[in-house]
Structure 1
Amino acid sequence: MRQRGALAAVLLLGLLSLAAARDYYELLQVPRSANEAQIKRAYRKLALKMHPDKVQGSEEEKKAAAQKFADVSHAYEVLTDPEKRKVYDRYGEEGLKQMGGGGGGGGNPNDIFSQFFGQFGFGFGGEQQEEQTPKGNNVVVVLEVSLKDLYLGNQFKVTRDKSVWKPAPGTRKCNCKQKVVTQQIGPGMYQQYTTQVCEDCPNVKLVRETDALTVSVEPGMADGHTITFFEEGEPIIDGEHGDLHVVLRTQPHPTFERRGDGLLANVTISLLDALVGFEREPGRGDLWVTYSVAFPTSISDEQRQQLKALFGANPEWQRRQLAHDEL
């Protein structure tokens, strides 16, 4: 029981001691191998969603949204700077700080937003319209993790087959658009019609390749939590890749059961401990323990008489038994 209590303490301590270091790739929801175009598209989607001007709610919620927006903007600033990204990949945030700035908040997130979306941000109508670009299908992967992984955090290498575009012989029609054409059909008479205009692009084909992806499970994540990787889903011709959604599923634990941010432990004790009492050392945090009494399968006549003599002559036992019978 001491070992189990110690394990509970370690698990709960891991939950309370959340990692201070930020993962810039996870903030932007892109893999570490993401190119600059992927990072920019990821920032665009997140910035439009998280901008403080679009957040409704209490002051605390707006403050939290502003901080998240600043973190995402800072991650974008670092990962789109080749020199900063190289330092961050090798030494993390501490390396950026020693480099001379960049490890903390970085530049003004609104300045970065304005540079990316233009001076007017969301525009006069209050909304920034995203380009209507075809997007491939999303892919959902279920990742089984242990209770310890969710409390202490862990990293997993996920290997999967994915479709990628490869060059193929010939050309193809691409970037097709609808164009309105005006044609004169007589003196002072014109007609308009719509036609499809395409370009000629190098031909491509889909090939399945094996790809490895690192999934970071942060301390405190819950069962069912979804980790999204932008553009790691199925590709589509002349469009963007779909997204990859990794859903966490908790494997059953033989002793502990999670209750919110606490633990419930089911422990079997002996009949002797149940009768005479016992002591156990508690761990840190909230730990709920349910005790089940392991009754003997059989007792002798002599033992039965001893139990009757022991509890039958006990006034406290008789008082409790009488109270129970009256109920």
Structure 2
Amino acid sequence: MALPRTKRFFLLCAFSYAIVAIAEKNYYEILQVPKGASDELIKRAYRKLALKYHPDKNPGNEEANKRFADINNAYEVLSDSEKRSIYDRYGEEGLKQHAARAGGGMGVNMQDIFSSFFGGGPMEEEERIVKGDDVIVELEATLEDLYMGSTLKVWREKNILKPAPGKRPCKCRNEVYHRQIGPGMFQQMTEQVCEQCQNVKFGREGFNVTIDIEKGMQDGQEVVFYEDGEPIVDGEPGDLKFRIRTAPHDRFRREGDDLHATVTITLVQALVGFEKTIKHLDDHLVNVSSKDITKHKEVRKFKGEGMPLHSSKKKGDLYVAYDVLFPTSLTEDQKSKIKEVLG
């Protein structure tokens, strides 16, 4: 039975939104906050990311400039309650349609947002905020993970702040005032003033952390989870940082964006040529054959068969060293034939 025209229309719209949503960027992921994040958490996340990827700190880095634009675009939407509500329900396409109906556009002036948040003039450094300790975890990733990209899950236990009975002094600050001690004479006084807050205690909590290993990440690069480090009373938690380390591999050795491998061949193969392939990290085969004489320890380059460059479509190179396996002994007849052939 055919569906009524109105129902078909709404089904088509829903399907269109689903297709668009797959291709759209996730503003919450861009700012590295959960979907239900508070306005304050969104502001803090924006501050950290905008300072990190600002063009002044990354001159000539196109990827950083692109990230900076995405960060500002995401903050423009998530910091506006109306836009955020539309985005949560209908995604980026819904925002564009709303802007079109309102006669406006979805364009974002990055400098306007940054200036309104940090002030005008040259880029200012992040203001001093009391923070808990950062937690740095050395994360060993396989070459396969770093070649193809991967997702790892790590169990994490940390301290969390929980309410406790009683009150405690908090948000303490120094207040300066003047007291008259005689005709025309004043004494400056400084007094610490504190508010009363709910008491807190530390408890332990465990959960899985999902870490995205991006193609081509280098040793020392970090995957950062902001404010997921150690908490501190009356301050912001530190950050949780997973620092990438490449695990040893049985077939390849990595140097930057290049890979190195060793292929063993016989003396006969070294002299007359050979047919040979090696299996790459994603299981595709690389032809390392030769029709010429191959010297012991000779190294040949295979362009574009190395590691992918991080945040790029390019790849490094593969360098293959040939290890010629010499015979351990020869008979007199073999020696004579070799002399006869080689002169």
Q: Which residue of 1 aligns with 2:158?
A: 162
Query: Deviation of residue 268 (structure 1)?
Result: 2.2
Alignment of 1:262-301 (within 5 A): 262-281=258-277, 282=286, 285=305, 286-297=317-328, 299=329
Q: Is the 8 A contact 1:79 1:85 kept in 2?
A: no
Task: Give CA deviations for 1:39-64 in whole Å, capped at 9, x if unaligned.
Answer: 32121122234344x3574xxx1765
Shift, 1:270, TM fit: 3.5
Instruction: Find out whether 1:122 has 2:112 as its counterpart.
Output: no
**What is the TM-score when the length of structure 2 is the normalising length?**
0.69
- Which amino acid in the other structure matches residue 208 of structure 1? R
C-alpha RMSD over aligned residues: 3.2
Residue 51 of structure 2 is aligned to residue 48 of structure 1: yes
Q: Quote the offset at 1:208 in angstroms.
A: 1.3
Find the counterpart in structure 2 of residue 232 from structure 1: 228
Cα contact 1:146–1:250 (8 A) shared by 2: yes
Q: How far does the alpha carbon of each residue in 1:263-303 deviate from its partner, in whole angstroms, 9 at most, with x for none?
A: 21112234443343202353663322112233455x4xxx5
Aligned-pair CA distance for 1:106: 5.1
1:122-161 correspondence runs (5 A): 122-123=119-120, 126-128=122-124, 130-161=126-157
> Residues 98 and 26 (structure 1 numbering): CA distance in 2 closer, same or farther, change over 3 Å?
closer
Specify every segment of 5 or more residues in structure 2 that has no aligned partner in the other structure, as ranges.
1-22, 99-104, 278-285, 288-303, 306-316
8 A contact 2:176–2:190 mirrored in 1 = yes
**Which amino acid letter does the alignment assign opposite residue 242 of structure 1?**
G
| SS of equivalent residue, structure 2 residue 173 | strand
- Candidates 180, 186, 189, aligned match of 2:185: 189
Aligned-partner SS, 1:313: helix
Aligned length: 276
CA deviation vs aligned residue, 1:43-89 (integer Å, no higher than 9, x gap): 1122234344x3574xxx176554332121123345552552566xx
Q: Which residue of 2 aligns with 1:12?
A: none
Aligned residue among 18, 41, 45 for 1:38: 41
Counterpart in 2 of 1:113? 113
Percent of aligned positions with the same letter in both sequences? 46
Contact 1:31 1:229 in 2 (8 A): no
Q: 1:71 aligned to 2:98? A: no
Preserved contact between residue 86 and residue 95 of structure 2 (Cα < 8 Å): no
CA, structure 1 residues 56+77, in 2 after alignment: closer, same or farther (shift >3 Å)? closer
Residue equivalent to 1:242: 238
Matching residue of 1:28: 31
Structure number with the higher helix fraction is: 1
TM-score under structure 1 length normalisation: 0.72
Following the alignment from structure 2 to structure 1, what is the Cα–Cα distance between the partners of residues 26 and 266?
A: 48
Change (3 A) 1:35 1:272: farther
**Cα distance 1:265–1:179, how it changes in 2: closer, same or farther (>3 A)?**
same
Q: Residue in 2 aligned with 1:306?
A: 333
Question: Counterparts of 2:174 and 2:190 in 1: how far apart (Å)?
Answer: 6
Distance 1:23 1:306 in 2: 74
Per-residue deviation, residues 168-225 of structure 1 (Å, max 9, x unmatched): 0000000000000211223333211111000001111111111221111111111221
Equivalent position amino acid for 1:261 in 2: D
Query: What code does the residue aligned with 1:288 have?
Result: Y
Match of 2:331, SS state, is: helix
Change (3 A) 1:307 1:29: farther
Structure 1 position 227, deviation (Å): 1.5
Unaligned runs of 5+ in 1: 1-19, 88-94, 319-327
- Taking a change above 3 Å as real, the CA distance of residues 37 and 190 of structure 1, as seen in their structure-2 partners, is same
Cα 1:206–1:216, aligned 2, differ >3 Å: closer, same or farther?
Answer: same
CA distance in 1, matches of 2:211, 2:221: 12
